[in-house]
Amino acid sequence: GVMDLKLTSSRKYISISVPSKSQAMSPHIKSVDDVVVLGINLSKFNKPTQFFICVSGVFMFYLIYGYLQELIFSVEGFKPFGWYLTLVQFGFYSIFGLIELQLIQDKRRRIPGKTYMIIAFLTVGTMGLSNTSLGYLNYPTQVIFKCCKLIPVMVGGVFIQGKRYNIADVSAALCMSLGLIWFTLADSTVAPNFNLTGVVLISLALCADAVIGNVQEKAMKLHNGSNSEMVLYSYSIGFVYILFGLTCTSGLSPAVTFCSKHPVQTYGYAFLFSLTGYFGISFVLALIKIFGALLAVTVTTGRKAMTIVLSFLFFAKPFTLQYVWSGLLVVLGIFLNVYSKNMDKIKLPSLHGVWKKSVEERKTRTLSQTV
């Protein structure tokens, strides 16, 4: 009886179950935590290298993206067709995502379809409203509104994911937002172009943008979805949303007629605009998956600051010291954010500690002089 019990016990431990074909994982996957961006497996690198690669990709591609976005809206008569540009952009993104998904062996959709419908709706709101607002606002004004999403992202993190942020994170968000607002206020005296409609559009885009980072982070971590999967499904569903909306509002026909008369300045620029944006969003999604939504937004906010700086280099504008002080505020915000992520490695002296050390040095100096 004892031997039978041992055999039964051993059978229980050595028994294996063979998964079905649909459940079998691709043999090339070594870890469920692999993060692949444009064919580069970032999981092979250490955290500082991953951060450097992601930040370099975000800055390079999104700086080109911002320039092309402003270039498209500089085409005479194109400003009313912001939603059509978003439709074309979503179409290109869907194609790029499908191509990238075909290049990897594991093509399963891990994130539920209902979640993608929500993400697609938020993505449409973020990018569609943002593109459309350029028909009413100048580019620096739009950029500065988008920079203010640091605080809404933190609020979204609290309510959506139950996160708790420390005083350094809150101070970083405030410094970066205030610094960038102050930076662009100086430019508003040069080319003021404020419009209430544009302000409402970009504000709604800001709200959607604040939520989408947290939803993406939660979905990718919970279901271990890949970047290419996220891009393909969210933008293809978003494409259907925008196409339905433009068809119902009779906004599709005038846009197609206009763009057919200027194919290079519209579809040509839109292709490059979408390509750089697709590469950029891939690196942003990698940042979200590895480092979280708050750090990703901090990096993209810093990129927006660089966009404003480059606009002063490419276009002649008056210079004031207000730009310097506001730029220093942004740098302080970046430092506070980095410090909050490495508080165990970076030990800043407290005011009490500095005062106590000063008193002790004074006592030692007095004692030495007395002796």
CA neighbor of 121 nearest in space, from 211, 252, 219, 251: 211
Per-residue pLDDT at 91: 92
Per-residue pLDDT at 328: 76
DSSP 155-205: HHHHHHH-----HHHHHHHHHHHHHHHHHHHHHHTTS----HHHHHHHHHH
CA neighbor of 201 nearest in space, from 192, 209, 189: 209
Per-residue pLDDT at 105: 59
How is residue 234 written in tokens? 């969210």
Full-prediction pTM beyond 0.75?
no
- Give the type of residue at 78: F
The whole-angstrom separation of Cα 213 and Cα 220 is 11
Helix, strand or coil, per DSSP, at residue 41: strand
DSSP state of 29: -
Per-residue pLDDT at 13: 43
**Dihedral sign (CA 248, 127, 122, 233):** positive
Contact between 184 and 327 under an 8 Å Cβ cutoff? The reply is no
Per-residue pLDDT at 241: 93
Per-residue pLDDT at 188: 62
Residue with tokens 């055999």: 7
Residue with tokens 């933008």: 235
Per-residue pLDDT at 187: 58
Angle of helix 167-188 relative to helix 139-147, nearest 10 degrees, comes to 170
Give the bridge partners for 41, in sequence order: 36
pLDDT averages per 10-residue partition of the chain, 371 residues: 49 42 35 66 83 89 85 84 90 87 72 87 89 77 70 71 77 78 65 67 82 78 76 89 90 89 89 89 83 76 75 64 74 72 55 59 52 47
Instruction: Give the angle subtended at the CA of 319 by the CAs of 316 and 322, to the nearest 5°.
Output: 145
Beta strand extents in the chain (DSSP E only): 36-37, 40-41
